Amino acid sequence: MPTTSTPERTHQSAVHDAGWDYTVGSPHLRHHRVNARVVDACRQVVARVLDRSGTCRVLEVGAGHGAFTDHVAALGAEVHVTEMSESSAALLRRRFAHNRRVTVTHDPTGAACHTGPPVDVVLAISVLHHIPDYLGATRALVERTAPGGAFVSYQDPLWYPRRSAGDRAADRAAYLLWRLGRGDLRRGAATLLRRARGEYDETNPSDMVEYHVVRSGVDEEALRSLLAARFASAHLDRYWSTQSPWLQSAGERLAPPNTFGLIATGRLPR
């Protein structure tokens, strides 16, 4: 069963502490069109299950501060949230203290989300690139998905080796411009240099929290193949995203995709 290492758990808690603002570095939270894309995908799969069965059990892995939890709970789903960061889990408990549809589990090892009763929908939003064995983690999550259920993952970086040199260069430039706007260009440049060298530092939160730094992104085709074998439909949604608000609009029109989502529906009988 895929779990996280002690260094990663330490850095996740340190980086995503009580004062952490997920929105700053998260295009799916920061930009309206990207956010709407993710919200629509989550709502649609949950609404289909509710229309079919009248109830929907949702497992949301790594919910952060609950930006998407609200949307699916408002539809009438029962949402079980897991969160690796202790401070984020505590915030989620306070935020949803009076919502009986939402339960929160602090999951420091990543193991809790793989055990328990079957669920109808799994949501993994901006999560897979944090997990070293993301394919193994996805398999375990699919095993918890009931027949007819769905798996939704969004906002993970495309597999770098499939992207052109120019595409990757534009992506790096957008990242550095965002860092420049934040006043921490040096940190961004150091991160990109480690990526180019293929280095991995367990003492550095940037490397431990963002595993795609050394893993060359997330293999979206391998994930689609995995899901296609277990679901009636597995749709891959490639799109452009960047942290910079003033580059996002231009990138959506002109830049090649650098990010992806996966929507798998109709979980096949085991």
Q: Tell me the CATH number at 151.
A: 3.40.50.150
224 found inside a domain = yes
Query: Residue 156 region, left (φ>0) first, then alpha (ψ -120 to 50), else beta?
Result: beta
Q: What is the pTM of this model?
A: 0.84
Is the distance from CB of 156 to CB of 126 less than 8 angstroms? yes
DSSP assignment of 178-220: HHHHHT-HHHHHHHHHHHHHT---TT-HHHHH-THHHHTSB-H
Query: How many structural domains does the chain have?
Result: 1
Cβ burial 155-189 (10 Å sphere, 16+ → b, else e): bbbbbbeebeeebbebbbebbbbbbeeeeeeeebe
- Beta-strand ranges (E) seen in 78-144 are 78-83, 102-106, 119-125
| Per-residue model confidence (pLDDT) at position 159 | 92
Confidence of residue 239 (pLDDT cuts 50, 70, 90): very high
> How far apart are alpha carbons 152 and 71 in whole angstroms?
14
Structure tokens at 133: 């064995």
1 found inside a domain = no
Average pLDDT over residues 53-62: 96
**What are the angstrom distances between the C-alpha of 250 and each of 31, 89, 91, 245, 255?**
13, 36, 35, 10, 8
pLDDT > 80? residue 48: yes
| Per-residue model confidence (pLDDT) at position 16 | 47
**Which amino acid does the sequence have at 2?**
P
Average pLDDT over residues 162-179: 77
Confidence of residue 2 (pLDDT cuts 50, 70, 90): very low
203 found inside a domain = yes
> How far apart are alpha carbons 76 and 47 in whole angstroms?
9
| Per-residue model confidence (pLDDT) at position 5 | 52
Confidence of residue 244 (pLDDT cuts 50, 70, 90): confident
pLDDT tens sequence across 196-238? 676 666 666 666 555 554 568 899 999 999 999 999 999 999 9
| Per-residue model confidence (pLDDT) at position 139 | 96
| Per-residue model confidence (pLDDT) at position 78 | 97
107 found inside a domain = yes
| Per-residue model confidence (pLDDT) at position 1 | 39
What domain range is 54 assigned to? 6-267
pLDDT above 70 covers a percentage of the chain that reads 77
194-159-266 Cα angle (round to 5): 140
178 found inside a domain = yes
3-state secondary structure of 3: coil
pLDDT > 50? residue 180: yes
